[in-house]
């Protein structure tokens, strides 16, 4: 591949997410679980026009998502399976989220972010992403489901990578619907958990713990992690602190420090060098959308130290996440 061809691939990659988002929202993959279908039948099932749907599917098939057979029928590929709603770790909500205007439009203002350091989202919408999601519950639901699917496959490796047996009660701070805490409680039968989340998230979390037979071992606490945290033997916080700039992140970590227990911080850590890594573009997403940032291992250690912790070891969990332990000085 020439340099020009490579650059063209990078530039035209912008066409892929909205195509996949449309097919995900239409539920195309769910209609193909039994067998390939002709476009006319598929269009009728998903409520679309046949020709536009064909054009979207043809484009998706060209990058290995779906496939067209010799008879013009479309079927699933291994990659397209991830757009089904009923598969473990489904990325259908993530595909839908990346097609939503709030996660797309701000990138038109990325130059202003580079010039000012301010998140483009705030410039476009006049409010933060967090305020926006509070005011738009349907999109907030997609965002929450996307986060669960996006990070779901990392939960078991996180639990397996670190010895949690020293703790009797682990507080999962901002733990969403409780997926990470479920994995942790299953792996450590003597452990008890506390989930701190916003009140509107807790009903879904309650269902998740009940479905896993863990209701008696977990306490659900509604609250704001910038105000206070419930007591526990360790504070586990995953993929939350990177949402904030250094000043706000330190404010959050100081609230956790007041709890007096060790900190178990799970985040992406940007590696040195020019090799591709999820964190390098996730960092740009944080900059444009949330005003936060991903950080290197040294930057994470400096951040927790600034909040009054003594940084400890870093444990690599998988190809994306690492766990940094830190102790109250």
Q: What is the DSSP string of 218-253?
A: EEEEE--TTT-----SEEEEESSGGGS-HHHHHHHH
Partners of 267 in the β-ladder: 322
Question: How far is C-alpha 281 from the geometric centre of its chain's CA atoms?
Answer: 13
CB proximity list for 283: less than 8 A, separation 6 or greater: 270, 293, 294
Task: Output the furthest CA–CA distance in the chain (Å, rounded).
Answer: 68
Q: What angle do CA 154, 160, 161 make, to 5 degrees?
A: 90
Give the integer Cα–Cα distance in Å for 190 and 73.
53
Give the integer Cα–Cα distance in Å for 329 and 327.
6
8 Å CB contact between 263 and 325 = yes
Q: Which of 151, 242, 257, 295 is catalytic?
A: 242
**Of all helices (H) and strands (E), which one includes residue 119?**
none
Q: What angle do CA 141, 267, 127 make, to 5 degrees?
A: 45
Give the integer Cα–Cα distance in Å for 50 and 56.
10
> Token match 């063209």: residue?
8
**Structure tokens given for 193:** 């958990």
Residue 73 Cα distances to 29, 41, 51, 62, angstroms: 13, 10, 13, 14
Judge whether 242 counts as a catalytic residue. yes
**Structure tokens given for 327:** 């102790």
Which amino acids are annotated catalytic? Answer: 242
């Amino acid at each position: 591949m020439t340099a020009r061809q490579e650059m063209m691939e990078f530039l035209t990659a912008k066409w892929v997410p909205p195509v996949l988002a449309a097919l995900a929202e239409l539920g195309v993959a769910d209609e193909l679980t039994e067998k390939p279908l002709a476009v006319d039948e598929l269009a009728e099932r998903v409520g679309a026009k046949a020709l536009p749907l064909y054009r979207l599917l043809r484009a998706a098939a060209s990058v290995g998502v779906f496939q067209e057979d010799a008879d013009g029928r479309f079927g699933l590929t291994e990659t397209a399976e991830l757009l089904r709603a009923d598969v473990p770790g489904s990325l259908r909500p993530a595909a839908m989220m990346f097609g939503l205007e709030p996660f797309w439009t701000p990138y038109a203002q990325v130059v202003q972010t580079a010039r000012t350091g301010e998140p483009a989202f705030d410039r476009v919408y006049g409010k933060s992403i967090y305020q926006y999601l509070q005011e738009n519950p349907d999109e907030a639901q997609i965002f929450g489901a996307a986060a669960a699917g996006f990070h779901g496959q990392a939960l078991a490796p996180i639990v397996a990578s670190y010895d949690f047996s020293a703790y009797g009660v682990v507080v999962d701070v901002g733990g969403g619907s409780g997926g990470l805490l479920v994995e942790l409680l299953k792996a450590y039968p003597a452990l008890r958990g506390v989930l701190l989340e916003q009140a509107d998230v807790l009903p879904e979390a309650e269902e998740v713990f009940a479905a896993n037979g863990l209701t008696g071992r977990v306490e659900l606490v509604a609250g704001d992690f910038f105000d206070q945290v419930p007591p526990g033997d360790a504070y586990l916080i995953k993929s939350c602190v990177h949402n904030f700039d250094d000043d706000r992140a330190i404010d959050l970590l100081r609230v956790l420090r007041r709890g007096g227990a060790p900190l178990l911080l799970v985040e992406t850590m940007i590696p040195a060098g020019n090799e591709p890594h999820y964190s390098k573009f996730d960092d740009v997403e944080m900059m444009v959308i949330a005003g936060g940032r991903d950080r290197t291992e040294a930057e994470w250690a400096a951040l927790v130290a600034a909040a009054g912790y003594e940084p400890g070891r870093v444990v690599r969990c998988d190809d994306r996440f690492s766990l940094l332990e830190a102790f109250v000085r």
